[in-house]
């Protein structure tokens, strides 16, 4: 279904945050979000429905941490397939009742473990972990596996191998939150090149989460410069995360995220959405921005900073000093 929507030629709108919105709905710190697929399905349904009502073309199932390694921390390792199947079923039902084509992505987050040689988990073992999760998502009706917020090439490859083994198409997004690179040192252009060596390429790849909307769009510029023909995803946080006491507040208003959506498309992204801090109001603002979109010039780092605010973690590369200085000047 994702391919069919992409063939329409218009920018597609993904959804907003799962975790931060569930915390507002009553999820306690340390509680397992995936367990809510069983204990509070009405709240999961309501969140997904709110994104569909806001205009999302793609919604993600509540399954980000639903792999065996993560669920083991809560004694839920024997419920992997059940909880992932239920996550996909809830999203599938909302999508099917929408009266239009809405893609259901099965969210696949990292295992939380370092892979060998840095850690004990091998790539083959990680592949098995992800395959178990994907089986549940597939059974529940997910259209596509949505690999997200990973930083290590071998873990991304393990998830992609698992999707391929189960006959599922996949999308992959990484978080470039460390001086313009992932935590494991992967740059946006190297990330874009990486998939050329995969047995089966993704339907789309891109960036999600990170440290701010401006930083994420700089990562998108790097990917689209390297692979201008690719379908690139931009799924940024709602501005910059800031601690207010024991709570994280995101600085981005719906209006800022509308500006971000327009800039994302001008930067070459074909799928635009939000990650942490993005509420239905942010998604609705992005929907209006995309519906009214008129093509503009490809943005520069300077024009992104002028529109969205300074970079939080500027790339440590040639020109990085200029980016950092101009970012400060824009404040």
Evaluate if residue 11 carries a pLDDT over 60: yes
| SS3 at position 164 | helix
pLDDT value of position 180: 96
Nearest CA-CA partner of 238 in 294, 308, 302? 308
- Give tens-digit pLDDT for 49-104: 999 999 999 999 999 999 999 999 999 999 999 999 999 999 999 999 999 999 99
pTM of the model: 0.93
State the pLDDT confidence band at 242, using cuts at 50, 70 and 90.
confident
List residues bridging with 105 in a β-sheet. 60, 144
pLDDT value of position 316: 78
- For residue 98, what are its two tokens? 């929408």
Q: How many helices (H) and strands (E) does the chain have?
A: 14, 10
State the pLDDT confidence band at 293, using cuts at 50, 70 and 90.
very high
Q: Around 45, how many Cα atoms within 13 Å sit in the side-chain half-sphere? A: 14
- Domains of the chain listed by start with CATH number: 2-301 (3.20.20.330)
DSSP one-letter code for 115: B
């Amino acid at each position: 279904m994702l391919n069919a929507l992409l063939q329409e030629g218009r920018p597609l709108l993904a959804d907003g945050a799962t975790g931060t919105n569930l915390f507002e709905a009553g999820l306690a710190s340390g509680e397992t979000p995936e367990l809510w697929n069983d204990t509070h399905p009405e709240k999961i349904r309501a969140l997904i429905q709110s994104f569909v009502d806001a205009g999302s073309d793609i919604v993600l199932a509540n399954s980000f941490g639903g792999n065996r390694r993560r669920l083991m921390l809560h004694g839920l390792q024997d419920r992997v397939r059940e909880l992932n199947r239920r996550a996909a079923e809830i999203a599938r039902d909302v999508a099917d009742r929408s009266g239009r084509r809405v893609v259901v992505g099965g969210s696949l987050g990292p295992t939380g473990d370092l892979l060998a040689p840095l850690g004990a988990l091998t790539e083959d073992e990680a592949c098995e972990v992800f395959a178990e999760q994907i089986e549940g998502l597939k059974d529940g009706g997910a259209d596509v596996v949505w690999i997200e917020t990973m930083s290590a090439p071998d873990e991304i490859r393990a998830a992609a191998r698992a999707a391929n083994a189960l006959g599922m198409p996949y999308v992959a997004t990484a978080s470039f939150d460390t001086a313009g690179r992932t935590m494991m040192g992967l740059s946006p252009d190297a990330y874009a090149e990486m998939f050329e060596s995969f047995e089966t390429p993704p339907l789309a790849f891109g960036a999600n989460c990170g440290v701010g909307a401006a930083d994420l769009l700089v990562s998108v510029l790097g990917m689209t410069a390297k692979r201008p023909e690719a379908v690139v995803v931009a799924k940024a946080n709602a501005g910059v995360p800031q601690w207010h006491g024991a709570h994280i507040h995101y600085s981005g208003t719906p209006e800022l995220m509308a500006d971000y959506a327009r800039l994302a498309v001008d930067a070459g992204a074909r799928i635009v959405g939000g990650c942490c801090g993005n509420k239905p109001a942010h998604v609705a603002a992005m929907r209006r921005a995309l519906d009214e979109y008129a093509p503009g010039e490809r943005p520069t780092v300077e024009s992104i900073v002028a529109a969205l605010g300074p970079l939080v973690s500027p790339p440590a590369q040639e020109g990085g000093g200029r980016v950092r200085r101009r970012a400060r000047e824009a404040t």
